[in-house]
Amino acid sequence: MTDWTGTLSLDLEERKGKTVAKRVYFQGALKVMRPIYFDDSGQVCYYLLNPGGGYLDGDRYKMEISADEGSKVTLTTQSATKVYKTPKGYAYQETQIHLQKGSYLEYLPDPLIAYENAHYKQKNVVHMESGATFIYTDILTPGWSPEGKKFSYNTIQLVTEVYLNGKLGVFDHIKLMPEQQTLSGLGFMEGYTHLGSMIAVSEYTNNSLLDELYEVIQIEESSFKFGISKLAVPGFSIRILANSTQVIERILDQCQKILSEKWNNRTPSFLRKY
């Protein structure tokens, strides 16, 4: 697969206490905005954007991110990823991330919105060294349809692989196909419409942290379901079922705040764009 609609490459390093890009490249329908430093911690934030406004029939996107030892970065998007009708070929996005020991990377994209007859596939592959930290979140949202159906998209398929020191430690696969699955039923969405996830890998994971996250999530008063699972490698995953993006965002934001304070010794900045 070489005919990419958009490509982006970002290589980061720590330089005198500040994370900077040693190489930035993008072409086509992917761009990266200028670096932002919210405080004096040296951690950098980059906003990734698709100037085309959405993913269309047959679009292909590829991103490659690397973080050298000691570098700290937050990656987010400028707005929600909107996947429109794809009658001929699915839209696809692939992300490769390489983290050296002592690096810290948060990948916190805005929600994915799949509209009627959308077919979308995504693959994230993360290669980490011991001592690196990786935090990833995603939110799946059903888009509007003329008939008012809750799940009018064709397929959403998300695959995340995390390799620690060259060995596969996490394999996460979400595949939602409304025409072939009873998404409202047990084992799928269970009466909810939105799905949120967090995957965090760090050697600093422990049971007391998971207990604290559990208590914080329970404070949310809206209707939702959630679960926390330890991973085969030091880390955990969280799943959240709810009926609105805002509920899941509040929960994930609270969890990310705890992780940033404990694992990175800083309070995260507000990233939302509205």
Give 206-245 pLDDT, tens digit per residue.
999 999 999 999 999 899 999 999 999 999 999 999 999 9
Spatial CB neighbours of 162, under 8 Å, sequence gap ≥ 6: 126, 128, 134, 168, 169, 170, 199, 201, 233
Rounded-to-5 percentages of helix, strand, coil across the chain: 10, 45, 40
Quickly list H helices, 8-132.
none
Phi, psi of 246 (to 5 degrees): -65, -35
Residue 112 has pLDDT above 70, yes or no: yes
Residue type at 232 in one-letter notation = A
Q: What is the mean pLDDT of residues 172-179?
A: 92
pTM for the whole thing?
0.94
- The rounded distance, in Å, linking the Cα atoms of 54 and 120 is 12
- The rounded distance, in Å, linking the Cα atoms of 102 and 179 is 45
Residues 92/162, Cβ–Cβ less than 8 Å: no
User: Mind listing the pLDDT tens digit for each residue in 26-41?
Assistant: 999 999 999 999 999 9
| Alpha-carbon Rg for the chain in angstroms | 18
- Provide the greatest CA pair distance for the chain: 57
Residues 151/117, Cβ–Cβ less than 8 Å: no
Residues 163/130, Cβ–Cβ less than 8 Å: no
Q: What is the mean pLDDT of residues 167-174?
A: 97
Residues of the chain with pLDDT > 70: what percent? 95
Residue 274 has pLDDT above 60, yes or no: no
